[in-house]
Amino acid sequence: MSEIQLTEDNWEKEVLNSDIPVLIDFWAPWCGPCRMVAPIVSEIAEEYKGKLKVGKLNTDEEPGIAVRYGIMSIPTLMIFKNGTVADQIIGAVPKEYFIQKLEQIID
């Protein structure tokens, strides 16, 4: 598994100060669609290794970050570039759609 577990402690280092874009999967264990989206996120993490960092944020364990970024629906996938939100995807979407969004953001 090449995804990073994100918390308040590593958020700044791994997300805000990352040299490469970061895709963050906001999820929770009781969210069925989140669990089903996870394999697609893992595939993306593999395919974009080195060009994209992929992180998971459990909204149950880290409600502070979820609130700060206005998360009201999961799965939400946010793409950070240079420390700010470059794009976001709400709900389960086809992998192709992820890739389209990522291709616009990744150099």
Partner 1 sequence: MHDVVIIGGGPAGLSASIYAARGGLKTLLCEEKLMGGQIVLSYEVENYPGFPNGISGMELIENFTKQAEKFGVETSYEGAKSIEDDRECKSVYLTNGSCIKTKTIIIAAGASANKLGCPGEKKFTGKGVSYCATCDGAFFRNKTVAVIGGGDSAIEEALYLTNLVKKVYIIHRRDRLRAIKILQDRAMENKKIEFIFNTIVKEIQGDKLVNGILLENRKTKNMDRLAVDGVFIYVGNTPNTKFIEDLIKLDENGYIFTNENMETNIDGIFAAGDIRVTPLRQVITSAADGAIAASAAQKYIESKL
Which residues are catalytic, by number? 31, 34
Query: Given the complex with partner 1, which of 14 and 62 has the nearer CB atom?
Result: 62
User: Is residue 34 exposed (0-12), middle (13-18) or buried (19+ Cβ within 10 Å)?
Assistant: buried
Q: Contact residues for partner 1 (CB under 8 A)?
A: 28, 30-37, 39-40, 43, 59-60, 70-76, 88, 90-96
Question: Shortest approach of partner 1 to residue 66 CB, angstroms?
Answer: 8
Nearer CB in complex with partner 1: 21/75: 75
- We find the least distance from the C-beta atom of residue 48 to partner 1, in angstroms, to be 15
How near is the Cβ of 59 to partner 1 at its closest, in Å?
8
CA dihedral 46, 51, 57, 63 (to 10 degrees): -170
**Are 79 and 102 spatial neighbours (Cβ–Cβ below 8 Å)?**
yes
The region that residue 91 occupies, defined by phi over 0 for left and psi between -120 and 50 for alpha, beta otherwise, is left
